[in-house]
Structure 1
Amino acid sequence: MAPQFTLFSHPVGPNGWKVAQVLCELGLEYETVMKEFGDGENGMKTPEYEKYNPNGRIPALIDHSANDLCIWESGAIIMYLVKKYDPEHKLYPASIEEQALVDTWFYFQMSGFGPYTGQAVWFKVLQGNKNVEAADRYVAEVHRMCKVVSGQLEREGSGWLVLGKCTIADLSFLQWVRFLYRLSIDIEKEYPLMYKWKEAMLAMEGVKKSTVGEVWA
């Protein structure tokens, strides 16, 4: 039997793995199609792929059980999955009030933590630190946001961001937190609560099933 979903992803890009982890935690069957950066034969910047994601990025998801509905942007995909396929509210709560708490941190990851980490890696690592001012600015922002997350974990006191359990808010951060070694940030020493949080997520069965461990620190 063919998988219900097709996920377009990338071996390293964190946003594709975010979706894969949610799919696995919800017990949903999917097939992954790995794409490459650029406009090569298997690239994201090709007319063939841009019919799925006109922005030419990963991830994109096709739900074959919903007339091949295609969704792109990791946040939109994850919200679709939990709204439609999480009736037990494993990763997303039922009440509007609790949803707001989860959404706050979920959107903070998408609007802040992820983009700033990506820019820091671009300027400091991929561009060889040629623009020191830009690299330093983004790395400093990453540290600031790590302090924000660490502060919330301390206030919450449960090991999770909100509601005392793992939600899509937590999982949305995982692959980006795993990326911090690229910036020479040792979270075990510098942000121990984040390190314990990361390790707790890595121990989850769905996460273990979905993640290509050798790619990450």
Structure 2
Amino acid sequence: MRFNTKASLAALALLTTTPMMAHASSLHTKWEQFKAGRAFRHLSADGQRAMADIVQARETLAAGKTDAAIPALYDAQKRLTAAGKAETKFNAAESQLQPAPQHPASPDHTPATTPTTWIPVGGEFIATETLAPEKKAAVATANGQLKAGQTDQAAQTMQVVGEDADFIVALAPLAQTQGALNRATVFTEGKQASEAVAALDQILNGLVFVSEDFAESAMPDHGKAPAKSSH
């Protein structure tokens, strides 16, 4: 799908510049900016923040700090609920998904056996083997920013990389994720840190990564800017 749209996107960039300024570098810059924005529009703002909360809570629980992990778990619950009400989601059986070969599922992944609601909770850039070292470093930085829910910063970082990286989207099964999060919260409130960590690991192991093209085809109406994350 991406290669079919490149020419039209280049034409769009041309139309947004004056004839005197429509040189190769300005077209290339506009293409990079548009591509980054287009990729991130597939993500759920609340879903991203919920996953960042879950990762934060897991790190805190792994250190044995149950009380300190509770606020992040509560925030994750609220944000997952908001993500489930937003438009950036779709329903499908897991067998209908097309996992990205660049990021296979965890060895501990348990497939969802019934149709479920999938939330795009994160993304990752995959650098090509021939990418220059400084661009590979930028990709690594952008991926770290995405994991922290810093989408705007990641888009800025990726402007130096442009078309030389693919974008894959992390999908979370909503009901299963909420169930595991609720269990983790109960365990945390009961001071059972190891059991809570195991429940959060179920969430992380349940993620399925798909290509940007698949996400676009599964959510065809989501070409508009994402909603702001709730707080």
TM over 0.5: no
**Larger RCO: 1 or 2 (CA < 8 Å, sep 6+):** 2
TM-score by length of 1: 0.27
Name the larger-Rg structure.
2
